[in-house]
Amino acid sequence: MLTVEKIGGTSMSQFHDVLKNIIGYPGSPSFHYGRIFVVSAYAGVTNILLEDKKTKAQGIYHRFINGEDYQIFMDSLLNDLLQINKAFTDIGLDYELCREFITDRIVQTKAYLHSMEDIIASGYVGRDSIFSAVRELLASIGEAHSAFNSVNILRNNGISAELVDLTGFRDSKQLSISERIEQSFKHVNPSEAIIIATGYTKGKEGIMREFDRGYSEITFSKIATHLKAHEAIIHKEFHLSSADPKIVGVDKAVPVGRTNYDVADQLADIGMEAIHPSASKPLEMAGINLRLKNTFEPDHPGTLITKDYIGPEAKIEIIAGSDKIMVVEIHDTSMVGEIGFDLEIMQKFREYNISYIMKATNANSISLVIWESDLKDDLEAELRTKYQTVTVKKAAIVCVIGSNIALPNVLARASNTLAKNNINVNCVSQSLRQVNMQFVIDREMYAKAIVHLNQDLCLN
């Protein structure tokens, strides 16, 4: 029974635990072949290469496109990667062999970047296309590094292991992402070796252009669907829980256990990704179940996500949300009874490449909830010239999510929890399907709302 498994960056940085808890040593109960592991870069490496995912602090990519001296940062990166290597010598990593591999990759990357600088200087090729290629090239380094190291460690522990390098680093073939995966796995036999594949896949469409930082989950999903895996598994440093343990406390965050892909989509829509939606959809359509496991609790079955699961009892499964959103409200008295009034608003949002998280309307107002990072001053200015009143407010959104919550009292219970804790609801939304009840609240009340909703709805 073939499984395709993805290991996140934080887990990869603690590969001692990955080897012991996930892969296992030969002879241990957890060890068996028939497994393909798609590995992320070690924690923080892609942030150095591109930009910090959370703070947006600039990495090597931005230094290149800004015409700054990026080479010194490439040298610093190499030193960082070699320090990571040293941390794994006690579990079998061959330092000299792995140093040679990553040093060669960095040296060749610097040569590619230098050539790209010359092409930009010529003025014959559009800068955007070159910059896009640079982003792809840099992104590939982290996964190539971690994948090569992993194979080396496994082999030195008596485990038959094979590297599938999907980065196409010295490959000039014009293949799509799917074609590269198909060709790379054509002669691979997972029953005879642990297969380690890079989370980055080179393709002519550009995996970064299409999916940005979610690319490793796309690779994971495409491999699983191509090989018709029995199960797809994601190993992270935490469980998919009833609420964020950093907010409610580890002892108050209950592993979900079972849910469905619809719930996973709801989480992705508010930035709490169990899995990238473009990765989950092919798994769902192929009928492949997805399991989310905690690297550091190997005996726990984790959470199984399937297509048709509905909880046997009415239950709030997850309280989630974000305090990084804005509410844009457009009030105009000419709106009432005007068919398609919001079409022009939606077209303007599309022009600015903004997707809304939630939408609430009444006779004269439309409130749209968007990511704070998506709001552009130009958009706000345009809206103010077109409509009577435009209000923009920092806020937070909290969501009550479950596969079986379509009951008369659930919305009332959630609203009552917020009310009794003096948390005002600015906007509310619930679709007919009733898998996600969304409340927009004041930003400073976000953590308080998560704690009390989790306590009242998930633990009681």
Query: C-alpha distances in angstroms, 350 versus 212, 374, 381?
Result: 19, 12, 16
Q: With pLDDT > 90 as the criterion, what percentage of the chain qualifies?
A: 82
Residues 6+ away with beta carbon under 8 Å from 5: 22, 35, 36, 37, 38, 232, 233, 234, 235
Instruction: Give which of 132, 141, 151, 277 is closest to 200, Cα–Cα.
Output: 141
Instruction: Give which of 51, 222, 199 is closest to 134, Cα–Cα.
Output: 51
* 381-402: pLDDT as tens digits: 999 999 999 999 999 999 999 9
* 124-151: pLDDT as tens digits: 888 888 999 999 999 999 999 999 999 9
Beta strands in 402-443 (DSSP E): 425-430, 436-441
Q: What are the φ and ψ backbone dihedral angles of 278, each rounded to 5 degrees?
A: -75, -15
Residue 272, pLDDT > 80, answer no
For the chain, domains (ranges, CATH) are: 3-237 (3.40.1160.10), 318-458 (3.30.2130.10)
pLDDT band at residue 404, thresholds of 50, 70 and 90? confident
* 66-105: pLDDT as tens digits: 999 999 999 999 999 999 999 999 999 999 999 999 999 9
* 307-366: pLDDT as tens digits: 999 988 888 899 999 999 999 999 999 999 888 888 989 999 999 999 999 999 999 999
Instruction: Give which of 406, 401, 402, 453 is closest to 425, Cα–Cα.
Output: 453
Which pair of tokens denotes residue 347?
Answer: 């077209």
How close are the terminal C-alpha atoms of the chain, in Å?
Answer: 38
Which pair of tokens denotes residue 371?
Answer: 């990511």
Give me the pLDDT at residue 381, please.
93
Residue type, 150: S
pLDDT band at residue 419, thresholds of 50, 70 and 90? very high
Rounded average pLDDT over 419-436: 92
What are the strands of the beta sheet with 161-164, ordered from one edge?
161-164, 194-198, 35-39, 3-7, 231-236, 289-294, 303-306, 258-260
Alpha carbons 330 and 382: distance in angstroms, whole number? 12
Alpha carbons 4 and 234: distance in angstroms, whole number? 9
Give me the pLDDT at residue 66, please.
93
Residue 172, pLDDT > 90, answer no
Give me the pLDDT at residue 270, please.
85
Residue 441: beta bridge partners?
Answer: 396, 425
Give me the pLDDT at residue 283, please.
96
Residue 358: beta bridge partners?
Answer: 369
Residue 274, pLDDT > 80, answer no
Which pair of tokens denotes residue 329?
Answer: 């409200």
The answer to whether 310 touches 251, Cβ cutoff 8 Å, is no
- Quick check: helix, strand or coil at residue 322? strand
The answer to whether 235 touches 8, Cβ cutoff 8 Å, is yes
Alpha carbons 290 and 284: distance in angstroms, whole number? 9
Which pair of tokens denotes residue 359?
Answer: 């939408």
pLDDT band at residue 452, thresholds of 50, 70 and 90? very high
Give me the pLDDT at residue 325, please.
95
DSSP one-letter code for 404? B
